[in-house]
Chain A
Amino acid sequence: MNTVALAPPRKRRHLLRNSGFLALPLIILVWSVADPSLGRELLDWVPYLASGFMMNIVIALLAMTLGTLVGTLFGILELAPYRLVRYPVVAYVQVFRNAPHLVLIFATTYIFPFEIVVAGHYLPFPDWVKAVIGLAIPASAYVAEITRGAIQSIPTTQWEAAKGLGFSQGQALRWIILPQCLRRSLPPWMNLFASITMGTALASLVGVHELLHAATDASTAVRRLDFTIVAYLVVMAAFFMLCYPISRLTRRLEGRFNAA
């Protein structure tokens, strides 16, 4: 197989990929134009659906931030030389990596209180925050595994070399090991990001006002079969337009790092 033979299909594939990216929105657009009463109905609901999708994005971003912070710490602790530290962390990672996201969202929604008392003040603890925690728990377990894998992939000799240069263990981790880990763990981290983003749709099942829930509200109010179908297409298109670029970028990064 030489590159000359590959060139034309690759170009064609590129075209196919980009047209595929726009296929869902196009279907929605064509349908709305073909049936103007449907299009008008949909247009009325766009702001409501958009506010739902913002919620998905907010939940995903916060869950990933929280999950990454906790997960990185746990990943390092998984390699701690003390059993008393290591065992609980390993158990946490095992249980929550294996637990269905949906079950964790159910658990946090129904088990956490709706408000917490901090120094005599009642702070509300809304559902979407519980969904953030419900998704941050598995995210942290995955990030811990990614971090541990990345640290272990750095040859031991580098630790020794750092020691030889007078770095303490903490300094070596901060200045030599972690920067390299960052690069190695970026692609799996981005995969996780896409997966958590899609997981936010599960929050609809506990009544969080996100896109899928908004779409159900809309189809309940409109009560038209064709509108229901379009509403689901809109939900799919929205997630696809968000996640597909992420996964393309991830693959490009993976390719570059593998080549390096």
Chain B
Amino acid sequence: MPSMKLATMTSAFALSIFSLMATQASADATLDRIKGRGALTVGVILSGAPFGYIDPKTQEQKGFNIDIAKALAEDLGVKLETVTVTPPNRVQFLQQGKVDLLIANMQYTEDRAKVLDYVPTAYDRAGGAAVVRKDSGLKDWADLKGKPVCVSQGSNYTQPLIEEYGAVVKALPSQPESLLALQGGNCVAAVHVGATVGLLLEDRPEDWKDYAIPFPTELIPSDSVIWLRKGEKDTQTALDNSVKKLHASGKLLEFAKSNRLLNTKFLEEQQKALSASK
């Protein structure tokens, strides 16, 4: 079939042009660009309160992540631009340079640290919580073996759920779809960042009266960090200082409280540690 060969050749050709254009995009050091443009572009995720959501009245973005982004931009003396990202596209957006950094519910994992750099001082600590039906009889993570579990596409809980607990992971485009799939009975549990689902169950007791978060531990609790492209040391240092300042001044704790984060123990400890060291 000559047309097939032709098809092969052209698609390879077309894609090689794409990739050539893509490599052209890597710009100069991020910090210079931020200062040069006078704006910090942050990728934020709108997975719901308390981290990020749209306010219907003003149609503005609100939440813990947004507050941190605002404070960082203020500290750098530039204005803030936010870009909404989703779990499946956030790493691509950062790699492409569409955003300067990600404050997008991404915890530290070794695999991520291989492809991206991060700000060493964490702004929060979070782990995965599983929402399950009260009558399901599931007691702990090990009970998920062989059962369908919903997550978001690109979630860092996918690998431990599959490899450690042998769950059958179903990844949906974002958190609301995953939770709806749980209510529809397409999975026995939905695993997401603990604070979001915890607050959801608390705020919407009517919709969620048959559901609970029964597992005693969180899945891979780890530091929520700001992610950067590989090798951007200046930006990393500048942001690390900013985050430390936010901890020390108690601002992060304040953001957490005003956005109703359920567990602020980590932030309290950090504030004590960092304000003492000053």
Chain A interface (Cβ < 8 Å from any Cβ of B)? 41, 44-45, 47-48, 87-88, 90-92, 94-95, 98, 107-117, 122, 127, 205-207, 209, 216-225, 228
- In the complex, whether B9 has a CB less than 8 A from a CB of chain A is yes
Greatest chain A CB density within 10 A among B54, B56, B200 is at: B56
When the two chains form their complex, are residues A225 and B15 in contact, meaning their CB atoms are under 8 A apart? no
When the two chains form their complex, are residues A205 and B173 in contact, meaning their CB atoms are under 8 A apart? yes
Q: Smallest distance from the beta carbon of A188 to chain B beta carbons, Å? A: 22
Chain A residues with CB below 8 A from B98, complex form: 114, 127
When the two chains form their complex, are residues A221 and B21 in contact, meaning their CB atoms are under 8 A apart? no
Q: Which of B89-97, B240-248, B262-270 contacts its partner?
A: B89-97
When the two chains form their complex, are residues B97 and A217 in contact, meaning their CB atoms are under 8 A apart? no
Chain B residues with CB below 8 A from A225, complex form: 180, 183, 207
When the two chains form their complex, are residues A95 and B89 in contact, meaning their CB atoms are under 8 A apart? no
- In the complex, whether B126 has a CB less than 8 A from a CB of chain A is no
When the two chains form their complex, are residues A112 and B86 in contact, meaning their CB atoms are under 8 A apart? no
Chain B residues with CB below 8 A from A222, complex form: 56
- In the complex, whether B53 has a CB less than 8 A from a CB of chain A is yes
- In the complex, whether B217 has a CB less than 8 A from a CB of chain A is no
Leading 7 A-B pairs by shortest Cβ distance: A113-B25, A114-B98, A91-B6, A91-B10, A111-B18, A44-B56, A221-B53
When the two chains form their complex, are residues A109 and B46 in contact, meaning their CB atoms are under 8 A apart? no
- In the complex, whether B59 has a CB less than 8 A from a CB of chain A is yes
Chain B residues with CB below 8 A from A216, complex form: 174, 176-177
A90 to B3, CA, bound (A): 9
Chain A residues with CB below 8 A from B24, complex form: 113, 116-117
**Complex A-B: 26 CB contacts under 8 Å:** A44-B56, A44-B57, A47-B59, A91-B9, A95-B11, A95-B14, A98-B7, A109-B92, A110-B96, A111-B22, A112-B18, A112-B22, A114-B93, A115-B97, A117-B24, A122-B27, A207-B85, A207-B93, A216-B174, A220-B53, A221-B49, A221-B56, A223-B49, A223-B203, A224-B204, A228-B180
Residues B169-193 near A (CB distance < 8 A): 173-177, 180, 183
Chain A residues with CB below 8 A from B173, complex form: 205
- In the complex, whether B258 has a CB less than 8 A from a CB of chain A is no
- In the complex, whether B19 has a CB less than 8 A from a CB of chain A is yes
Chain A residues with CB below 8 A from B180, complex form: 225, 228
Chain A residues with CB below 8 A from B21, complex form: 111-113, 116
Chain B residues with CB below 8 A from A92, complex form: 10, 14
Known: A87-B6, A223-B207. A110 touches B48 (CB 8 A): no
Q: Smallest distance from the beta carbon of B11 to chain A beta carbons, Å? A: 5
Q: Smallest distance from the beta carbon of B171 to chain A beta carbons, Å? A: 13
When the two chains form their complex, are residues B97 and A114 in contact, meaning their CB atoms are under 8 A apart? yes
Cβ-defined partner of A90 (8 Å) among B6, B15, B175: B6
Q: Smallest distance from the beta carbon of A145 to chain B beta carbons, Å? A: 14
Q: Could you say which interface size class chain B belongs to?
A: 35 or more
- In the complex, whether B237 has a CB less than 8 A from a CB of chain A is no
Q: Which residue from chain A places its CB closest to the CB of B180 in the assembled complex? A: A228
When the two chains form their complex, are residues A94 and B56 in contact, meaning their CB atoms are under 8 A apart? no
Residues B25-67 near A (CB distance < 8 A): 25, 27, 46-49, 53-57, 59
- In the complex, whether B109 has a CB less than 8 A from a CB of chain A is no
Q: Smallest distance from the beta carbon of B86 to chain A beta carbons, Å? A: 5
Chain A residues with CB below 8 A from B97, complex form: 113-115
When the two chains form their complex, are residues A223 and B18 in contact, meaning their CB atoms are under 8 A apart? no
Cβ-defined partner of A224 (8 Å) among B49, B177, B207: B207
A90 to B93, CA, bound (A): 33
A41 to B24, CA, bound (A): 46
Chain B residues with CB below 8 A from A113, complex form: 21-22, 24-25, 96-97
Q: Smallest distance from the beta carbon of B242 to chain A beta carbons, Å? A: 24
When the two chains form their complex, are residues B18 and A107 in contact, meaning their CB atoms are under 8 A apart? yes
Cβ-defined partner of A228 (8 Å) among B47, B86, B96, B176: B176
Cβ-defined partner of A218 (8 Å) among B6, B18, B54, B203: B54
**Cβ proximity bits B193-229 to A, threshold 8 Å, 1 near / 0 not:** 0000000100110010000000000000000000000
- 8 more contacts with CB within 8 A, not counting A41-B56, A95-B14, are A47-B59, A48-B59, A92-B10, A108-B18, A110-B89, A111-B15, A220-B53, A220-B54
Chain B residues with CB below 8 A from A95, complex form: 7, 10-11, 14
A127 to B99, CA, bound (A): 12
